[in-house]
A and B are shown apart, each in its own frame.
Chain A
Amino acid sequence: MSPTLAGWLQVSVLVGALAACYRPLGDWIAHLFTSPRHLRAERALYRLTGVDGDADQRWPVYLRSVLAFSAVSVVFLYVLQRVQNHLLLSLGFPAVKADMAFNTAVSFVTNTNWQSYSGESTMGHLVQMAGLAVQNFVSAAVGIAVVAALIRGFTRSRTDRVGNFWVDLTRVVLRLLLPLAVVLGLVLVAAGAVQNLHGLTDVHTLVGGSQSITGGPVASQEVIKELGTNGGGFYNANSAHPFENPNGFTNWLEVFLILLIPVALPRTFGRMVGDNRQGYAILSVMAVFWVASVALVTFFEAQHHGAAAQAAGAATEGKEQRFGIAASALFAASTTLTSTGAVNSFHDSYTPFGGGVTIFNMMLGEIAPGGVGSGLYGMLVLAVVAVFVAGLMVGRTPEYLGKKLGAREMKFASLYILTTPAVVLVGTGLAMALPGERADMLNSGPHGFSEVLYAFTSAANNNGSAFAGITVSTPWWNTALGLAMLVGRFLPMVFVLALAGSLARQQPVPATEGTLPTHKPLFVGLLTGVVLIVVGLTYFPALALGPIAEGL
C-alpha cells in the first residue's frame, strides 16, 4: 500500500469511528446533564463532600464554585510538588522549584499542560499520579461542566439557575471519563504502553554500554491525557516516547481519544436544545477546519520545504520512524485544534508552513473541535457573533435558538473573543521587547519569533504544545506563561457563564419568517467565515512576521 493511500485510509477509519460514536456518546453526555437521578456512588460522594446534589445554582454561584475548585487545585498541586522529596515514590527527585511548580500547577489546572519541566527528571510517580493525572480528569470535567451551563442557558427560560457545578463535575468524572479511561488504558497497556511503579532499571546494552530504562504509571496517565484534551506527557518526549505511544495502532487510538469527546459534544448540544440539526451544523464547521488542517499539514510536510528538510530529503527531523509523515501530521493537526497539546513529533522542526498551520490552529481559539467543553462553548460564542452579524445585515434584532441577542449578550461574547488575542499579542510583544527573554530563543530570525508567538498562543489558548526551542524554565517565562494560562482559561469562563445566566433569564421568542435558520448550510458558511475573519485575521500581522516570513 502506498504511503499516501495509507494516510488517507487512517483518516477515513478515524472519521468512521468518530461518526459511529457521535450519537451514542453525545446522547449519553446529554443524559448526564439532564437526568434528575443520582447514582448511589454519587450520593455517597455528595455526603462526603457536603454537596446538596439537588440544589440548582445561579450563574455567579456556579462560577464561584468553578473558581474555588480551581484555586484549591492550584494550591494543592503546588504544595504537592514543593514537598515531593518527602513523599513516597519520589524516585529521589528534589522538591520542584517555586516558579516551575507554580507554572506546572496552573498549567494542569487550566487544562493547558504546558510543560516547562522534563517529566523523567523532575516528577516522582506520586506527583504524576495523585497530582497531575487527577487534574487531567477534573480540569477536563470543569470544561465540560461549563459548556453544560451554557447549553442550559439556551434551553431554560425565565430562571436564574444554570445547574449545579458539583453535580456536573461528579457525573462527568464518574460516568464518562473514568469508565472510558479504565477500559482504554488497559488497551494501551496491552498494546505496549508501560504501567508499573518502577524507578530506573539499569541494563547492559548489546555492545556492553549501560542504559537506564524508565518506569512509571504511564498508560493510566496517557489515556486521560488524550481523552481530556490535556496533553501533558509523562515523559519529556510526550507521545513521541515509545512507552507512551508504542506503535501505529496506539498512535491512531490516541488521536481518536483526543477527538472523541469534543466531536460528540455538538450532539449533546443539539439533543439538549431539542433539535439535532443544530448539533450537525456546529459539527460541520468544526469538521471544515479539521479536514483542511489535516490536509494542509500533511501536504506541507510531504513537500518538505525548508533548507534542512531539503538537505535530508524528507521532513523527518523530530518525527518517529514508526509513525512517518501522515500519522505525525494527523496528530499535529488534531492536537493543535483541540487544545490538547500532546505531540508525537516535534513541531519546532516542522516545515515553515506546516508548523505555521499548527500555530494558526491554536489561534482559532481551540474550537474545531476544541478542548473538551471549552471547544464547544468557544464555538457557541462565535455562533452568537455569527447570528448577530447576520442580524446586522438585514437590520433586525438577532435571535439564536429563540433567545434574543441584545447588548448585554453581545458584550459578553465580544469580551470573550478579545481576551485571548490580547494575552497572546501583549505577551509576545513583551517577550520580544525584553533582551534577556529574547536571548532564550534557540533559533534566530523569523523562526525565533515563531517560537515566542507559539509559546504565548499555546499558553493563552490552553493548548500546551510547544515549539520547544525556547528555554522556558526560567522564572520570567514560568511566571509570564503561567499568568497567560490563568487569564486565558478563567476570564473567558466568566463571560461564558455570564452569557448563560443572561440567556436563561429570557422568555424565548417564537421563530418567524425573518429568523435566521441556524441549521442550514448558509449558517455553516457564515460561521466558518466569522471564525476565519473575526479570530484568524486578528493574528495575521503576527503570523506574517513569523511563519509566513520564514516560508516565503
Chain B
Amino acid sequence: MATPLPAALRTHLTALRMLLVMTVLLGLAYPLLLTGVGQAAFPRQANGSLVESHGKVVGSSLIGQGFDLPKKDPGDADEPARPDPRWFQPRPSAGGYDPTATGASNLGPNSEDLVRAVRERRAAVAAFDGVAPSQVPADAVTASGSGLDPHISPAYAREQVARVARVRGLDRAAVAALVERHVQGPVAGFLGQERVNVLELNRALDALR
C-alpha cells in the first residue's frame, strides 16, 4: 500500500482538481454557450449593434465617434482635432473616441486643469455654434466616463441646429424636426435620462441632403 500523502498536499491537489473542473465549466462551457445562444438569438446586439450607411459599416450605435475635419498633416499625432461644422458634435472624450483606450479624465472636482478645460470648451463651443456661452449645456463641456459616450443631451443637440443648418444650407426647421425625432426618453419613462444618439442623428442628417 502506498503511503498516504500529507494532508496539506492532499488538500492542494483537491483544490487544483476543483479549479480545473470549474475552469472547464465556467471558463469555457459557460461563455461559449452564451456566445452560441447570443449569436443565434440576438446577432445584432451580440456583435456590437453595428450600423451601416450607404451599404458600409460606419460604426456602432453604442459607441460614439468623432466628427472632425481631416488633419492637415495626417502624420502629426499632436495636431489638435478641429470639429467639422457640417455635423452634430459629440461630447468631449478623454480618449478621443478610441475604443482601444476607454476611460475618463479622472480629474478631481476642484482640479485647476479641469476648470480650465471646461472654460475653454465653453468658449470654443459658443464661438463654433454662434451662441452665448451661458447657452452651452454641461454635457458639451465635460468628458464622459467611458470616453465613448454615444449620446448628447437634447439641449446640446438643439443648440447645434442653427450652425448645422447654416453650413449645410438646409432649412433650420427641418433640421430641428430631425433632432426632435431623435430625442430618446428614459427607458420605460424613468430609467436613465433623455438623450440624442449622435451617430444616428448624423446618419439621418446625411440622408436629408
| A→B interface (CB under 8 Å) | 1, 3, 5-6, 9-10, 13, 45, 48-51, 64-65, 68-69, 71-73, 76, 118, 120-121, 129-131, 133-134, 137-138, 166, 169-170, 173, 178, 181-182, 185-186, 189-198, 200-201, 203-209, 211-215, 217, 219-221, 235-237, 240-243, 246-249, 251-252, 305-309, 311-324, 326-327, 343-346, 348-352, 355, 442-443, 445, 447, 450, 467-469, 550
Q: How far is the CB of A182 from chain B (nearest CB, A)?
A: 7
Q: Is the CB of B39 within 8 A of A196?
A: yes
Cα distance A208–B56 when bound, in Å?
11
Question: CB distance B62 to A314 under 8 Å?
Answer: no
What are 27 A-B interface contacts by the 8 Å CB criterion? Answer: A10-B191, A65-B14, A130-B23, A134-B19, A186-B37, A189-B38, A189-B41, A195-B35, A195-B39, A213-B63, A220-B30, A247-B192, A248-B191, A305-B109, A307-B111, A311-B119, A316-B142, A317-B104, A317-B118, A318-B104, A318-B105, A319-B142, A321-B139, A346-B103, A348-B107, A443-B108, A469-B106
Judging by beta carbons under 8 Å apart, are B109 and A241 in contact?
no
A204 in contact with B27 (CB, 8 Å): no
CB-based contact A185/B34 at 8 Å: yes
In Å, the complex CA distance between A247 and B53 comes to: 23
Contact with A along B91-112 (1 / 0, CB 8 A): 1000001111111111111111
B26 touches A352 (CB 8 A): no
Most chain B CB within a 10 A radius of its CB, from A120, A252, A308, A469: A308
**Residue from B65, B105, B111 having most chain A Cβ neighbours under 10 A:** B111
B108 to A194, Cβ gap below 8 A?
no
B193 touches A120 (CB 8 A): no
CA distance A235 to B53 in the complex (A): 27
* B17 and A50 within 8 A (CB): yes
Most buried by A among B13, B104, B143, B195: B104
Indicate if the CB atoms of B59 and A197 lie closer than 8 Å.
Answer: no
Q: Is the CB of B48 within 8 A of A201?
A: yes
Q: Which residue of A lies closest to B67 (CB)?
A: A207
- Per the bound structure, the CA–CA distance linking A50 and B20 in Å amounts to 13
Q: Is the CB of B35 within 8 A of A468?
A: no
With A121-B101, A321-B144, A324-B192 as contacts: A203 and B57 at CB distance below 8 Å: yes
Q: Complex: how many Å from CA A166 to CA B14?
A: 9
Whether the Cβ atoms of B102 and A237 lie closer than 8 Å is yes
Q: Which residues of B contact A348 (CB under 8 A)?
A: 104, 106-108
A187 to B39, CA, bound (A): 13
What residues of chain A lie closer than 8 Å to B130, measured between beta carbons? Answer: none
User: Within 8 Å of chain A (Cβ to Cβ): is B181?
Assistant: no
* A447 to B114 CA separation, bound complex (whole angstroms): 13
Cα distance A194–B62 when bound, in Å?
Answer: 10
Q: Let me know if B147 and A237 touch, CB within 8 A.
A: yes
* New contact pairs (14) apart from A129-B28, A134-B27, A308-B118, CB-CB < 8 Å: A51-B18, A72-B19, A131-B27, A138-B19, A170-B18, A201-B50, A214-B99, A217-B31, A307-B109, A318-B145, A320-B145, A321-B139, A323-B192, A327-B192
Q: Is the CB of A306 within 8 A of B110?
A: yes
Nearest CB on A from B151, distance (A): 4
Contacts of A169 in B (CB 8 A): 18
Q: List chain A residues, Cβ under 8 A from B68.
A: 207, 209
Would you call A242 and B31 a contact (CB within 8 A)? no
Name the A residues within 8 Å of B18 (CB-CB): 49, 51, 69, 166, 169-170
